[in-house]
Amino acid sequence: MSHDVDRVWSVSEHLDSILGQLTPLEPIELQLLDAQGCVLVEDVTVPVALPPFENSSMDGYAVRVADTEAATEEHPAVLEVVGDVAAGSGELPTVGPGQAARIMTGAPLPPGAEGIAPVEWTDGGTGGGPATTMAAHSTDPSGAAGEVRVHRPVRQGEFVRERGSDVAAGELALAAGTILGPAQIGLLAAIGRGTVKVRPRPRVVVVSTGSELMQPGEELAAGRIYDSNSFALTAAARAAGAIAYRVGAVADEVETLRATIEDQLIRADIIVTSGGVSVGAYDVVKEALSSISDGSEDVAVNTADGSDLGQGDTPAPGGFVDFRKLAMQPGKPQGFGRIGPDRTPLLALPGNPVSAYVSFELFVRPAIRTLMGAGSVHREVVRATCVTAIERSPEGRRQFLRGHYNRAAGTVTPVGGSGSHLVRALAHADALIVVPEADTSVAAGANVEVVVLEG
Ligand SMILES: Nc1nc2c(c(=O)[nH]1)N[C@H]1C(S)=C(S)[C@@H](COP(=O)(O)OP(=O)(O)OC[C@H]3O[C@@H](n4cnc5c(N)ncnc54)[C@H](O)[C@@H]3O)O[C@H]1N2
Ligand code: MOO
């Protein structure tokens, strides 16, 4: 099959050709905090019950039920305090009839005790009225002895957390496929796991190109603009779950760009470039990516979609990047290939800021999520009522207009126009409104497909 340079790719053909080349990264064992945002590849079972022992949920007194049955503030149960039980206590006093042990939240229930009287239900050992707090042991150790007056009956098991009431030993704590967030990492720590087996977060290197680009914070020179794409794309890669490295803007010089990309290969699972992919005289990404070296004589001459090279294709030492026209707006020019000794996937996005961002959402994000091994690689797609009309949409191209989605109302409202330079509107949008290839307008009140850009 020859590779047709004039072929127009549909959005799904381009996406399929990218995802078809990617397999999830190999699992590794990571320390808990290093595993944040990663996908678990093992079922984790609970080795010991949680809580591991019966313990108090209140600061108070561990008592026997029969001793407090008739207790009131006027006629309190007067109990002998036989000791203190602090959280972490190993040796426990036995609570016999007519006795109580002062106990702290989380401390093990001592033998003989059946329930907890919170300190507020007692005189706190002072001989006075209801207590609001305990005296600190460091300043007044006498509270661990003497007498306590309990003002209310304590029921069996009251304020006692049962062993295994959270999770029993042998139960599933987390299933393979779970993405580890803060609460999941907390659970792993609670059951004593120091490390877990996960797929690592993909490392994404973002390179923007363009001699017109300046760093935010610098004073803007005539004819120049700030590099916003490398910031937006790096942030988007992080939000998708990647470890992302932003490489400052590279000037439109083939050698500089090629050297920069070659240098970055060592730390990249995916390389994303912005700009330089259309038909201008300074569109250097195409030119540079036709000759990325892998340091070997082995020249790969397969196209990114697996077909053989044909007229107009450029074989590249160490890989091949295919530049394509897509039937979409924004995002018509796109490049995809695999380069360098490890055949690192490279996605070349168009430079217009909205085009780059939309392309990231549609192609790079699913690629990152595939390498992560995430269960869902795509954004949520819903249907909603389009509140205002869309006057024009290019025939034969699937349009992705920015919008604001109202989930409760089931509506979506276009934000800004279709221009690929409208970054303010992009920043105020939370959804993409999809206008199919065949439609050239959308009536107000029509039912449309919406890609929800949340999280
Ligand atoms: N004669 C034609 N011209 C263009 C075509 C075409 O088919 N025929 N396609 C247009 C479309 S669609 C797009 S999208 C752009 C893509 O252009 P490039 O990928 O080559 O991007 P550049 O030319 O480098 O830049 C385009 C635009 O975006 C600005 N830009 C670039 N990088 C950044 C950045 N990092 N931060 C902020 N802004 C950036 C750049 O200044 C330009 O304004 O080509 C059309 N042209
Ligand atoms: O198709 Mo380009 O990506 O609009 O502006």
Q: Tens digits of per-residue pLDDT, 158-213?
A: 999 999 999 999 999 999 999 999 999 999 999 999 999 999 999 999 999 999 99
Does ligand 2 come within 6 angstroms of the Cβ of 330? yes
The DSSP 8-state label assigned to residue 318 in this structure reads: T
Q: Which residues of 41-70 are buried (b: 16+ CB within 10 A; e: fewer)?
A: beebebeebbbeebbbebbbbbbbeebbee
Contact 335, 286 (CB under 8 A): yes
Q: Which atom belonging to ligand 1 lies closest to the Cα atom of 276?
A: 20
pLDDT of residue 305: 45
Q: Structure pTM?
A: 0.87
Closest-CA residue to 212 (of 145, 301, 274):
274
CA distances from 152 to 68, 74, 148, 149 (A): 7, 10, 12, 9
Nearest CA to ligand 1 atom 46: 278
Res 73 pLDDT > 70: yes
Distance (Å, rounded) from C-alpha 41 to C-alpha 415? 40
Distance in Å, CA 123 to ligand 1 centroid: 77
Nearest CA to ligand 1 atom 7: 278
Range list of β-strands (E), 327-397 = 328-329, 333-339, 344-349, 380-386
CA distances from 72 to 33, 153, 332 (A): 50, 8, 80
pLDDT of residue 117: 98
**Based on the number of CB atoms within 10 Å of its own CB, is 254 exposed (0-12), middle (13-18) or buried (19 or more)?**
middle
Q: Which of 278, 420, 421, 437 to mutate to test the pocket of ligand 2 (most atoms within 8 A of CB)?
A: 420
pLDDT of residue 291: 57
Q: Where are the domains of the chain?
A: 8-25+200-295+318-372, 31-51+177-199, 55-161, 381-452
Q: Which of 277, 278, 326, 355 to mutate to test the pocket of ligand 2 (most atoms within 8 A of CB)?
A: 355
- Ligand at minimal distance from the CA of 330 is 2
Instruction: Summarize the confidence of residues 306-314 as an average pLDDT.
Output: 42
Q: Which residues of 9-27 are buried (b: 16+ CB within 10 A; e: fewer)?
A: bebeebbebbeebbebbeb
Does ligand 1 come within 6 angstroms of the Cβ of 279? yes
Does ligand 2 come within 6 angstroms of the Cβ of 352? yes
Q: Which of 352, 422, 424 to mutate to test the pocket of ligand 1 (most atoms within 8 A of CB)?
A: 352
Distance in Å, CA 223 to ligand 1 centroid: 15
Which tens digits make up the pLDDT trace of 281-308? 778 888 888 656 555 444 333 444 444 4
At the fourth CATH level, which superfamily is domain 55-161? Molybdopterin biosynthesis moea protein, domain 3. (2.170.190.11)
Among 10-19, 37-46, 116-125, 277-286, the minimum mean pLDDT is found in: 277-286
Q: Which atom belonging to ligand 1 lies closest to the Cα atom of 230?
A: 35
CA distances from 315 to 30, 91, 262, 368, 412 (A): 39, 75, 17, 26, 45
Q: Which amino acid is at 359?
A: S
Does ligand 2 come within 6 angstroms of the Cβ of 275? no
Q: Which atom belonging to ligand 2 lies closest to the Cα atom of 332?
A: 1
Instruction: Summarize the confidence of residues 256-269 as an average pLDDT.
Output: 95
**Interface confidence: ipTM more than 0.95:** yes
Contact 81, 102 (CB under 8 A): yes
Does ligand 1 come within 6 angstroms of the Cβ of 287? no
Which tens digits make up the pLDDT trace of 265-274? 999 999 999 9
pLDDT of residue 294: 54
Contact 335, 277 (CB under 8 A): yes
At the fourth CATH level, which superfamily is domain 8-25+200-295+318-372? MoaB/Mog-like domain (3.40.980.10)
Distance in Å, CA 276 to ligand 1 centroid: 7
Distance (Å, rounded) from C-alpha 276 to C-alpha 258? 13
Contact 233, 218 (CB under 8 A): no
Does ligand 1 come within 6 angstroms of the Cβ of 212? yes
Q: Which atom belonging to ligand 1 lies closest to the Cα atom of 331?
A: 14
Distance in Å, CA 229 to ligand 1 centroid: 11
What is the topology classification, in CATH, of domain 381-452?
Beta-clip (2.40.340)
